[in-house]
Structure 1
Amino acid sequence: LFQVAAHVRDAGWSPWSQPERTKVTDEAVQVLTIDKIGGTESSLAISWTVRPSDRNRVTSFRLHIEPVDRSSRAQTFNVDRATYQYRIDGLRPRTQYNVTVQAATDKELCGGTTVTMWTDAAPLTALAGAPRVIAEEATSVTIEWDSRNREAGGFIVEYRLEGGAWQQHPRRIPAHPSQTTYTATVDGLPTNNVVDLRVRVTSQQNEQSNPSPEVRARTKCSPPPSPPQGIRVDAPSTNDVRVSWSRPAKDTWMCDQMNVEISYRVGNEPEKILPVPGDQTEYTFPAEPNQRWVIKLRATNQVGSSRWSAEQSVTTRQGAPGSVRDLRVKALSPNEVHVQWLAPLVQRGTIVGYDISYRLKHRLACPEEEPRDVSRDFVTVYNHKDLDYTITGLLPYSLYEVRVRARTTELGPEETKEVSTEQQPPSSPPLNLELTYALERSLSFQWEPVDCSQRHGHIVNYEYEILGQDDWAKLERQIANTSDTRITIDGLTPFTKYVMRVRAYNSIGGGPNTENLDAMTAKASAPLPPQDLVVAQEGTDFFMVSWLPPYPPYGPHDAYKIRYQLLGTEKWTERQHGVKDEELQCPSDSPRFCFNATGLEPGNQYKVQVATRIEGGTYGPWSSVVIANTLQILPDAPRAIHLIDKTDHSLHIRWVPPTDPKGHITQYRVSIVSLDDPNDERRSFLVDHPTLTYLFENLKPETSYNVSIAAGSKRGFGREIWTRYSTDPFVIPIVVAAPVVTPDGASALDIQWGGVTDSQNRVKGYIIEIR
């Protein structure tokens, strides 16, 4: 580590420098860098560096220079330790050298550092002689020259048009060490023009020499090499064909003038050629619609012509075709129309389709009415391909206007027809059905016609239907037709609910019904007679009758009138009661009404009738007559029983009847039961009055019987009278005829006899006696 200070005379010492570190070493000294700091085509100026710490150890430097291609001998130079720059002379121009610098110390020559450097190129030498012209064309000139300059990297050809400035041809000619003769073609020159040419030499570093002496040439005329470019053929209208092209550049004319020829062919006609001045770039031919043109172009000058361009074709736009022929329009249904036609005779192109337009003119059911629900604008089907079309979605019974026109690229004139769609039944009911008045047996209604848009034909009549709704009118139904919008329906039932509906008919059929309209006839002034008048109960001094209200009711009922008459008399007894009076209530809940006639004599018959009154009206007719009876009092017991005769198996009795001034007794009940047999059941027999005797048979002998008798009327039997009788003892019957005896062998007899009559089966057997 060391520092340095400087001493100035009469001024003292300066401050110490920054501390520096060093060490004593035996390492080799390395040359850090070698740089080219100058040079010429025959010399190189170089510099080099080492580490600062190694400077004191270096004693000298050795330089070694050798061409990279080893084309010449290497050179070595030694310099002192203080030299760090050196110029090396005697080198070859434009040569690459390896330059090596080595440092030497007291002990050794250290390894060096090598870099590669180039010497500068030598100044270029211009061509001594002018180039030679070897070919002159319409737009180009070819020249030739000799050069043995090995330092040349290439050649630049310069040219000058007559009266113009010098220009360099963009394409350079490269130099080759083994080549001595070079050629170049300068193109893009105007035809029939004087051209001066010269050559410059270029180095590898793109340095240029002075130009060579000049040579003069002249371009020639030749046929144009190619046809005009940018050719476009179109048909701006149906009667024009336009050809346009780009005007060829003057350097392509191959002479000082150029024209254009147009070849065209129309359809199958022969080809024709039309010359056009060279300054023109467009030409328009008159044409007809739908013509096909084939066109090609070529360029021409005084010497000749170019080849033809590729053919281009164009077809003039098609014109408007004529009208379609034989347009026919026929209705298929209420919503469809079939349209048919033939193609136009004059087509002026290819028919690509047909436009079919249609619109509603008016509904035939109401031609004066402006449609509110649909538009009357035209609807168009574009570019239809066939010669017929079915239009759908139309309104029934309506007049339509149909137009058809053919289409090429333009539309032809319209052909127009009118057609009416077919009718269909109305699609909605008549409007505003209402009841105008109601009587007892008639109802009057009115309505408005079906809306025009829903008639679909002329309304020819209306069908109305009225249906009874109450139970008694379920079978009432009237259906009839009318051409008017009002109707009075007769023959109805008073005070009855009905529903009314109407629908409209055209010549095709009927539409839907209106909604049901409820209506009711007025009440009648008098009702029908009550129904099912019957006698419900009978007593000795009363009877009760029951009935149902009149059916149909004909109106609300507020009272009933009941009358009854004793048979055989002329006087009627009448009673009148309101429908809610207790006198007309039945004993149990029932739709029926009941009435008790009381305070009557027993055993009588009465004629009974009932009539009904409508609220605010009068009584209706009397019901049919029923016969009611007051019951008789039960008859008394017979006054006496007498025995007429008896046997062992019968009792014959008679009796004295009770007093019966009114003749109510109709029969007697005669009963008998055994008193000896507790299991015997009582037997009863009915005897019609006035018979007063009865014979009990098939009784048991020697048996006591209880005999009872009761008198009976229609109401029933009264009290009984009874007595006791006994049958006689049983008498054994006698075998009347003698038995018949027949021998039966030596010791037996066969005996045979006739049996006795024994209807009660009381005989148990027979005893045979023999002596």
Structure 2
Amino acid sequence: MLHCQADGYPVPSITWRKAVGTHPGEYKEFLYEPNVNFYRNGSLEFLHISKDSEGYYLCEAKNEVGTGVSKVIFLKVNAPAYFPQKVKQMQVQKGEQAHVQCTALGDTPIEIMWKVGGKRIGGDVDQRYTIREQLLDDGMVSELAISRTYRHDTGVLSCYASNAYGQDEMVIQLIVQEVPEMPKNIRVNDQQSRSLQLSWTQPYAGNSAITNYIIQYKLVSDVWQAQPLKLTVPGTQTTATVQNLNPACSYHLRIMAENRLGLSDPSEVIQVTTQEEVPSGAPTDIRAEARSSTELFVSWEPPEREFWNGNLLGYYVGYQEQSSLTTVSSSPSTTTHNYNFKTVEVGAQYGGEVLLQGLAKYTTYSIMVQAYNSRGAGPSSEHITARTQEDVPSLPPENVQCSALTSQSLQVSWEPPPLEGRNGVVVGYKVSHQPAEEWYEKDEQETKVTTSLKTTIPSLRKYTNYSISVLAFTSVGDGVRSPPTVCCTEEDVPSAPADIKAVISSANIILVSWLPPLHPNGQITAHTFYMGIIEDGKEDGTHKRILGPQSEVYETLRLQEGATYQFWVTASTKVGEGAGTRVVTITSSNKGN
């Protein structure tokens, strides 16, 4: 409070002015501030005194009488030591120097003291510490230097300032920053064929927020490159999924943490093997060759190694008959309908071979091969075709028919064996025939070879049943004969009766007998009996009589005692009359022959 009173009449008015600078002489109007109250009695009250308020003040009292009076008052403000900034934070990189300052204002002399962890800092505490001070017009600045910072320097530094009028404290948060430590406790949470999910524990961040985690990975068989494969995830994550891996492959993985100062050391390396996956490639170089009419030998090479996707356990060999209406594509296909499959274990060189048995003869097969592992079968190989070897036909010709052309020839026709029974290319047919009657010898069988589907058999016996069979043959040999078909040649005129005899059985009766024809050549329909009479060297004509088919004897009267009688007989079929027997004669001097 500054007081300034003056007496006079009229009552003088009081005004205040403040010196410009720190010395009296030049004054300026005093601008009343919010923290200054001016009373009517002339007193000035400073509500909040500060060093800025210190100086020379001129109090003038005037009324309208005279020049007035004035008085100079020096206001001295005693300032305690204080810090304009109470708290601050300072960051420094580990290993570098740190220079920490605190500036105290107030009346000098001011004493400044540093403490860390409750202990006063001096040269005897740590040789790395040095303190330098400098006076200011309105206070003092003190600087604490740390020659080389370590992690444990991170903490609170206290700066204490004091003078005759008071004391103050300033707190400085010193943060020593460094690259993070390496991540720890790396675990594999999920293991797939082409991806791995990892988790880890967040490491010490080095007093600087972790911005990224870098997951580096490589195949176990490779060496770490300067720029290995990597996956970067934000520093807020402690899980990541590494993708685009290969199935059934062993990988090395390591993780590094990164902040604004740089990268941590790599973590410990973990080794993980991805799960298997069905093979993505097909076996190659598929080969097949016929070993017999019912066997095919198939061999192949394994898929390219990169397509195994695991350990090959074996192969599925698919095969099916190729219909003449089916077109087999040579390109790989996943269609395996109607295929028969045979399982084959992996061979010594990872390829394989198999002998397919029990196949249809002379048949084209479509063949494909699939590799499989613990996860299943991969794509099928290109489809190849192979045909089993020829064999003799296993089925006879069909629809064997025959008909008589003449009494000594037959026509035989047939159809080829069914396709499934040909077992190759039919190059011809063999038509065998022999008389069907049981009294004929078996070695009478004759065979005719032809390439057509019908043939004529000549030079046969008349009106004879023949047993006929047909077989087809290939280049390998003869096939199965057809069941016998019986045909009969047509009828013809018979041969002459086998023999004839005439005797005089009584005085006027002649008995003529004969034997049946050796070759009837048909059904005997009648016998014709012929009789010629010669008397006195003259022929008296020929007489004939038609007798029944069963007749073998005939009696005739001897009417003329001295005449010569001649007899002969023929047999007839529906075709006509055959040749006659020899002529027998009865004369008056004999009894016949």
Query: TM-score, normalising length from structure 1?
Result: 0.46
Code of the residue aligned with 1:166 in structure 2: it is E
Verify: 1:629 aligned to 2:480, yes or no.
no
Code of the residue aligned with 1:259 in structure 2: it is I
Verify: 1:197 aligned to 2:62, yes or no.
no
2:132 and 2:222 map into 1 onto residues whose CA distance is 70
| 5+ long unaligned stretches in structure 2 | 34-38, 123-130, 327-337, 492-516, 525-593
Which residue is equivalent to 2:578?
A: none
Is the CA contact (8 Å cut-off) linking 2:134 and 2:142 kept in structure 1? no
2:23 and 2:201 map into 1 onto residues whose CA distance is 76
Distance 1:476 1:539, change over 3 A: farther
Deviations 1:12-62 (A, max 9, x none): xxxxxxxxxxxxxxxxxxxxxxxxxxxxxxxxxxxxxxxxxxxxxxxxxxx
Cα drift, residue 497 of structure 1: 2.0
Q: Where do residues 44-193 of structure 1 align in structure 2 (5 Å cutoff)?
A: 135=2, 143-145=4-6, 155=15, 157-159=17-19, 166-171=26-31, 181-184=41-44
- Which of 531, 535, 538 does residue 396 from structure 2 map onto? 531
Deviations 1:516-558 (A, max 9, x none): 513132763x652553545446569656553442534344445
Query: SS of the counterpart of 1:453?
Result: helix
2:428 and 2:248 map into 1 onto residues whose CA distance is 61
Distance 1:398 1:143, change over 3 A: farther
Deviations 1:76-118 (A, max 9, x none): xxxxxxxxxxxxxxxxxxxxxxxxxxxxxxxxxxxxxxxxxxx
Is the CA contact (8 Å cut-off) linking 2:58 and 2:70 kept in structure 1? yes
Verify: 1:233 aligned to 2:89, yes or no.
yes
Which residue is equivalent to 1:224?
A: 80
Is the CA contact (8 Å cut-off) linking 2:320 and 2:366 kept in structure 1? yes
Query: SS of the counterpart of 2:151?
Result: coil
- Which of 447, 451, 462 does residue 577 from structure 1 map onto? 451
Which residue is equivalent to 2:386?
A: 520
Q: Percent identity?
A: 14
1:664 and 1:145 map into 2 onto residues whose CA distance is 191
Distance 1:512 1:201, change over 3 A: farther
Is the CA contact (8 Å cut-off) linking 1:244 and 1:282 kept in structure 2? yes
2:268 and 2:274 map into 1 onto residues whose CA distance is 20
Query: SS of the counterpart of 1:235?
Result: strand
Which residue is equivalent to 2:320?
A: 467
1:404 and 1:609 map into 2 onto residues whose CA distance is 89
Cα drift, residue 403 of structure 1: 1.9
1:217 and 1:497 map into 2 onto residues whose CA distance is 130
1:494 and 1:467 map into 2 onto residues whose CA distance is 13
- Which of 421, 429, 435 does residue 281 from structure 2 map onto? 429
Distance 1:522 1:229, change over 3 A: closer
Deviations 1:247-306 (A, max 9, x none): 75xxxx4x4x3536356453xx468899954435463464652666445656544x3225
Cα drift, residue 512 of structure 1: 1.4
Which residue is equivalent to 1:289?
A: 151
Say how many residue pairs are matched.
Answer: 452
1 or 2, which has the higher strand percentage?
2
Q: Where do residues 714-729 of structure 1 align in structure 2 (5 Å cutoff)?
A: none
Cα drift, residue 452 of structure 1: 2.8
Query: SS of the counterpart of 1:562?
Result: strand
Query: SS of the counterpart of 1:218?
Result: strand
Distance 1:242 1:350, change over 3 A: same
Cα drift, residue 396 of structure 1: 2.6
- Which of 161, 170, 173 does residue 314 from structure 1 map onto? 173
Verify: 1:566 aligned to 2:424, yes or no.
no
2:317 and 2:174 map into 1 onto residues whose CA distance is 71
Q: Which has the larger radius of gyration?
A: 1
Distance 1:447 1:540, change over 3 A: closer
Q: Where do residues 534-613 of structure 1 align in structure 2 (5 Å cutoff)?
A: 534-536=399-401, 542=410, 544-549=412-417, 551-557=420-426, 559-567=428-436, 568=440, 570-574=444-448, 576-578=450-452, 584=453, 604-612=464-472
1:202 and 1:600 map into 2 onto residues whose CA distance is 183
2:313 and 2:222 map into 1 onto residues whose CA distance is 19
2:428 and 2:109 map into 1 onto residues whose CA distance is 133
Distance 1:605 1:530, change over 3 A: farther
Distance 1:475 1:214, change over 3 A: closer
2:87 and 2:198 map into 1 onto residues whose CA distance is 47
Distance 1:534 1:245, change over 3 A: same
Verify: 1:377 aligned to 2:229, yes or no.
yes
2:43 and 2:62 map into 1 onto residues whose CA distance is 14
1:233 and 1:244 map into 2 onto residues whose CA distance is 11
Distance 1:211 1:439, change over 3 A: farther
Is the CA contact (8 Å cut-off) linking 2:248 and 2:273 kept in structure 1? yes
Which residue is equivalent to 2:584?
A: none
- Which of 292, 296, 308 does residue 455 from structure 1 map onto? 308
Which residue is equivalent to 2:554?
A: none
2:392 and 2:110 map into 1 onto residues whose CA distance is 124
Cα drift, residue 631 of structure 1: 7.7
Which residue is equivalent to 2:267?
A: 415
RMSD of the alignment, in Å? Answer: 5.6
Code of the residue aligned with 1:183 in structure 2: it is S
Which residue is equivalent to 1:398?
A: 249
Q: Which has the higher contact order (CA 8 A, sep 6+)?
A: 2
Distance 1:621 1:555, change over 3 A: closer
2:41 and 2:277 map into 1 onto residues whose CA distance is 110
Is the CA contact (8 Å cut-off) linking 1:156 and 1:172 kept in structure 2? no
- Which of 502, 506, 510 does residue 369 from structure 2 map onto? 502
Code of the residue aligned with 1:377 in structure 2: it is L
Is the CA contact (8 Å cut-off) linking 1:321 and 1:406 kept in structure 2? yes
Cα drift, residue 576 of structure 1: 1.5
1:188 and 1:148 map into 2 onto residues whose CA distance is 37
Distance 1:595 1:245, change over 3 A: farther
Is the CA contact (8 Å cut-off) linking 1:501 and 1:516 kept in structure 2? yes
Verify: 1:511 aligned to 2:414, yes or no.
no
1:210 and 1:236 map into 2 onto residues whose CA distance is 70
1:628 and 1:478 map into 2 onto residues whose CA distance is 49
| 5+ long unaligned stretches in structure 1 | 1-133, 136-141, 174-178, 204-208, 579-583, 585-593, 634-658, 666-771
Distance 1:464 1:378, change over 3 A: same
Code of the residue aligned with 1:378 in structure 2: it is K
Distance 1:238 1:319, change over 3 A: same
Q: Where do residues 665-676 of structure 1 align in structure 2 (5 Å cutoff)?
A: none
Distance 1:328 1:431, change over 3 A: same
Cα drift, residue 243 of structure 1: 4.5
Code of the residue aligned with 1:564 in structure 2: it is H
Deviations 1:467-486 (A, max 9, x none): 33349x99976554452546
Query: TM-score, normalising length from structure 2?
Result: 0.57
Q: Where do residues 643-654 of structure 1 align in structure 2 (5 Å cutoff)?
A: none
Code of the residue aligned with 1:528 in structure 2: it is P
1:420 and 1:290 map into 2 onto residues whose CA distance is 38
1:549 and 1:260 map into 2 onto residues whose CA distance is 128
1:486 and 1:210 map into 2 onto residues whose CA distance is 135
Deviations 1:604-638 (A, max 9, x none): 33232334355xx57644624513222888xxxxx
